[in-house]
Amino acid sequence: MSGYRLASGGRIDRDRRLEFTFNGRPMAGYAGDTLASALIANGVDIVARSFKYRRPRGIVAAGAEEPNAILQLGCGARTRPVQRATQTELHYGLSARTVNGWPSAETDLTAVLDRASRLLPAGFYYKTFKWPASGWKHYEHVIRAGAGLGYAPDDADADRYDRINAHCDVLVVGAGPAGLSAALAAGYSGARVILADEGSEFGGSLLSAAEHIDGAPSTHWIARVRAELAAMPEVTLLPRATVFGYYDHNFLTLVERLTDHLPATDAIGPRERLWRLRAKQVVIATGAIERPLVFGNNDRPGVMLASAVSSYVNRYGVAPGRRAVVFANNDNGYRSALDMQRAGIDVAGVVDVRTDPSGAWHEAARAAGLRVFAGHVVPDARGRRRLASVRTARLSADAGRIEDEGPRLDCDLLAVSGGWSPVVHLQSQSGARPRFDTDRACFVPGDPVQAERSAGAARGTWDTAGCLLEGNEAGVAAASACGFEAPATVLPSAAAADEQPLLPCWLVPGFKPVSRGPKQFVDYQNDTTAADLHLAIRENYTAIEHVKRYTALGFGTDQGKLGNINGMGIVAEKLGRPLAEVGTTTFRPAYTPVTFGAIAGRDVGALLDATRHTPMHAWHVARGAVFENVGQWKRARYYPRPGETMQQAVDRECLATHHAVGVLDYSTLGKIDIHGPDAVTLLERVYTNNWRKLAVGRCRYGLMLDEDGMVMDDGVTARLAEHHYLMTTTTGGAANVMARLERWLQTEWTDLEVHLTSVTDHWATVSVAGPYSRDLVGELCADVDLSAEAMPFMSIRECTAVGVAARVARVSFTGELSFEISVPAAHGQRLWEAVMAAGERYGATPYGTEAMHVLRAEKGFVIVGQDTDGSVTPDDLGMAGLVSTKKDFIGRRSLARPHLQRGDRRQLVGLLTDEPAAVLPEGAQLVDVPDGPLPLPMVGWVTSSYASARVGRSIALALVDGGRDRIGQRVFAPLADGRVLAARITEPVFLDAPGRRPHDRTDRNAERPDRRPERPPAGAVDA
Amino acid sequence: MLQLECPWCGPRDEEEFTYGGEAHITRPPEPDAVSDAAWGDYLFFHTNTRGLQSEQWCHSHGCRRWFNVARDTVTYRIHRVYRMGEPRPGFDA
CA torsion through residues B6, B12, B18, B21, sign: positive
Is the confidence at residue B91, as pLDDT, over 70?
A: no
Please, are residues A949 and A657 in contact by the beta-carbon 8 Å criterion?
A: no
Count CB-CB contacts under 10 A for residue A748.
15
One-character DSSP codes across A470-496: HHHHHHHHHHHHTT--PPP-PPPPBPP
Interface contact B1, partner A, CB < 8 A = yes
Residue B49 CA to residue A648 CA, distance in Å, equals 58
Please, are residues A508 and A294 in contact by the beta-carbon 8 Å criterion?
A: yes
Q: Looking at A359-368, A668-677, A750-759, A931-940, which range is the least confident one?
A: A931-940
**A142 three-class SS:** helix
Q: Which of A449, A707, A743 sits opposite B66 (nearest CB)?
A: A743
Residue A1021 CA to residue A653 CA, distance in Å, equals 8
Please, are residues A629 and A814 in contact by the beta-carbon 8 Å criterion?
A: no
Residue A226 CA to residue A171 CA, distance in Å, equals 16
In a domain, A812, yes or no: yes
Average pLDDT, chain B: 93
Please, are residues A984 and A911 in contact by the beta-carbon 8 Å criterion?
A: yes
Q: Rounded to the nearest 5°, which phi and psi values hold at A785?
A: -85, 115
Q: Looking at A650-654, A682-686, A856-860, which range is the least confident one?
A: A856-860
For the stretch A845-883, pLDDT in tens is: 999 999 999 999 999 999 999 999 999 999 999 999 999
Nearest to A673 by CA among A732, A612, A734, A714: A734
Conformation bin of residue A770: beta by default, left when phi > 0, alpha when psi is -120 to 50: left
Please, are residues A22 and A29 in contact by the beta-carbon 8 Å criterion?
A: no
Nearest to A813 by CA among A793, A798, A838: A793
A45: confidence class by pLDDT, cuts 50, 70, 90: very high
Please, are residues A927 and A939 in contact by the beta-carbon 8 Å criterion?
A: yes
The answer to whether residues A770 and A811 belong to one domain is: yes
The answer to whether residues A462 and A545 belong to one domain is: no
Query: Looking at residue A395, which CATH number applies to its domain?
Result: 3.50.50.60
Residue A650 CA to residue A846 CA, distance in Å, equals 10
Query: Looking at residue A986, which CATH number applies to its domain?
Result: 2.40.30.110
Q: Write out chain B residues lying below 8 Å of A247, CB-based.
A: 1
A431 vs B75: CB contact, 8 Å cut-off? yes
What contacts A404, CB < 8 A, 6 or more positions away?
A393, A394
The answer to whether residues A822 and A790 belong to one domain is: yes
Count of CB pairs separated by less than 8 Å, A with B: 56
What contacts A730, CB < 8 A, 6 or more positions away?
A669, A670, A713, A714, A715, A863, A864, A865
The answer to whether residues A474 and A392 belong to one domain is: no
Q: Given A798, A819, A846, which residue is the final one in a domain?
A: A846
Residue A697 CA to residue A694 CA, distance in Å, equals 9
Q: Given A576, A596, A615, which residue is the final one in a domain?
A: A576
In a domain, A694, yes or no: yes
The answer to whether residues A800 and A681 belong to one domain is: yes
Interface contact A746, partner B, CB < 8 A = yes
Entry pTM? 0.91
**A269 three-class SS:** coil
For the stretch A262-278, pLDDT in tens is: 998 898 999 999 999 99
Please, are residues A677 and A763 in contact by the beta-carbon 8 Å criterion?
A: no
Residue A57 CA to residue A46 CA, distance in Å, equals 5
A750 vs B85: CB contact, 8 Å cut-off? yes
Q: Write out chain A residues lying below 8 Å of B34, CB-based.
A: 893
Q: List strands edge to edge, sheet with A80-84.
A: A25-31, A13-22, A95-97, A70-73, A80-84
Half-sphere exposure of A915 (CA within 13 A, CB side): 10
Residue A555 CA to residue A591 CA, distance in Å, equals 13
Residue A183's Cβ-count burial label (10 Å; 0-12, 13-18, 19+) is buried
The answer to whether residues A205 and A326 belong to one domain is: no
Task: Give the dihedral of Cα atoms A498, A500, A506, A508; nearest 10 deg.
Answer: -120
Q: Looking at A231-235, A672-676, A949-953, which range is the least confident one?
A: A949-953
A995: confidence class by pLDDT, cuts 50, 70, 90: low
Please, are residues A481 and A202 in contact by the beta-carbon 8 Å criterion?
A: no
- The pLDDT value given to residue B93: 41
Rounded average pLDDT over A912-939: 94
Query: Looking at residue A713, which CATH number applies to its domain?
Result: 3.30.1360.120
- The pLDDT value given to residue A1000: 66
Q: Write out chain B residues lying below 8 Å of A892, CB-based.
A: 31
The answer to whether residues A202 and A271 belong to one domain is: yes
Residue B36 CA to residue A661 CA, distance in Å, equals 51
Count CB-CB contacts under 10 A for residue A203.
24
What A428-434 contacts at long range (C-beta under 8 Å, 24+ apart), as own/partner pairs, is: A428/A584, A428/A586, A428/A587, A429/A245, A429/A246, A429/A247, A429/A587, A429/A588, A429/A589, A430/A246, A430/A282, A431/A248, A431/B75, A433/A583, A434/A584
- The pLDDT value given to residue A150: 84
Count CB-CB contacts under 10 A for residue A198.
24
The answer to whether residues A396 and A456 belong to one domain is: no
In a domain, A281, yes or no: yes
Tell me how many degrees the CA angle A906-A909-A912 measures, rounded to the nearest 5. Answer: 135
A248 vs B58: CB contact, 8 Å cut-off? no
The answer to whether residues A734 and A823 belong to one domain is: yes
- Shortest distance between the Cα of A672 and any Cα of chain B, in A, equals 15
Interface contact A17, partner B, CB < 8 A = no
**B79 three-class SS:** strand
List the end-to-end C-alpha distance of chain B, in Å, as a whole number: 25
A527 or A1022, higher pLDDT: A527
B90: confidence class by pLDDT, cuts 50, 70, 90: confident
Buried residues in A257-291 as b, exposed as e (16+ CB within 10 A): bbbbbbeeeebeebbbbbbbbbbbbbbbbbbbbbb
Q: Which of A249, A747, A893 sits opposite B2 (nearest CB)?
A: A249
For the stretch A464-509, pLDDT in tens is: 999 999 999 999 999 999 999 999 989 999 988 889 999 999 999 9
List the end-to-end C-alpha distance of chain A, in Å, as a whole number: 80
Query: Looking at residue A68, which CATH number applies to its domain?
Result: 3.10.20.440
The answer to whether residues A178 and A275 belong to one domain is: yes
Helix (H), strand (E) counts: chain A:
25, 51
Residue of B nearest to A706 (CA): B43
- Helix residue ranges, H only, A585-633: 596-600, 617-622
Nearest to A309 by CA among A57, A16, A63: A63
Is the confidence at residue A1023, as pLDDT, over 70?
A: no
- The pLDDT value given to residue A1011: 65
Average pLDDT, chain A: 93
Is the confidence at residue B92, as pLDDT, over 80?
A: no
Q: Which of B3, B31, B56 sits opposite A249 (nearest CB)?
A: B3
A896 vs B36: CB contact, 8 Å cut-off? yes
Residue A681 CA to residue A667 CA, distance in Å, equals 27
Beta bridge mates, B29: none
Interface contact B31, partner A, CB < 8 A = yes
Three-state secondary structure of A983-1007: EEEECCCCCCCCCCCCCCCCCHHHC
Residue A580 CA to residue A530 CA, distance in Å, equals 19
Q: Write out chain A residues lying below 8 Å of B27, CB-based.
A: 707, 748
Q: Report the number of distinct structural domains present in chain A.
A: 6
The answer to whether residues A927 and A810 belong to one domain is: no
A897 vs B39: CB contact, 8 Å cut-off? yes
Residue percentage of chain A with pLDDT more than 90: 85
Nearest to A813 by CA among A637, A659, A662: A662
In a domain, A501, yes or no: no
Interface contact B73, partner A, CB < 8 A = no
For the stretch A49-93, pLDDT in tens is: 988 888 999 999 999 999 999 999 998 888 999 999 999 999 999
In a domain, A607, yes or no: no
For the stretch A701-720, pLDDT in tens is: 999 999 999 999 999 999 99
Cis status of the peptide bond prior to A217, with omega within 30 of 0: no
Task: Give the dihedral of Cα atoms A365, A368, A371, A375; nearest 10 deg.
Answer: 20
Interface contact A251, partner B, CB < 8 A = yes
- Shortest distance between the Cα of B85 and any Cα of chain A, in A, equals 8
Residue B91 CA to residue B93 CA, distance in Å, equals 6
Residue of B nearest to A888 (CA): B31
Please, are residues A616 and A765 in contact by the beta-carbon 8 Å criterion?
A: no
For the stretch A329-380, pLDDT in tens is: 999 999 999 999 999 999 999 999 999 999 999 999 999 999 999 999 999 9
Beta bridge mates, A798: A807
ipTM above 0.90, yes or no: yes
Residue percentage of chain A with pLDDT more than 70: 93
CATH number of B3-83: 3.30.2270.10
The answer to whether residues A303 and A394 belong to one domain is: yes
A278 vs B3: CB contact, 8 Å cut-off? yes
Please, are residues A690 and A778 in contact by the beta-carbon 8 Å criterion?
A: no
Rounded average pLDDT over A925-945: 94
In a domain, A203, yes or no: yes
B13 vs A896: CB contact, 8 Å cut-off? no
- Shortest distance between the Cα of B78 and any Cα of chain A, in A, equals 9
Q: Write out chain B residues lying below 8 Å of A896, CB-based.
A: 32, 36
What does each C-alpha distance from A780 to A392, A806, A848, A907, A943 come to in angstroms? 100, 10, 22, 43, 38
A1020: confidence class by pLDDT, cuts 50, 70, 90: very low
Interface contact B61, partner A, CB < 8 A = no
Range of the domain at A959: 902-999
A1022: confidence class by pLDDT, cuts 50, 70, 90: very low
- The pLDDT value given to residue A83: 95
- The pLDDT value given to residue A688: 97
- Which of B 3-22 lie inside 8 A of A, CB atoms? 3, 13-14, 18, 20
Q: Write out chain B residues lying below 8 Å of A708, CB-based.
A: 43-44
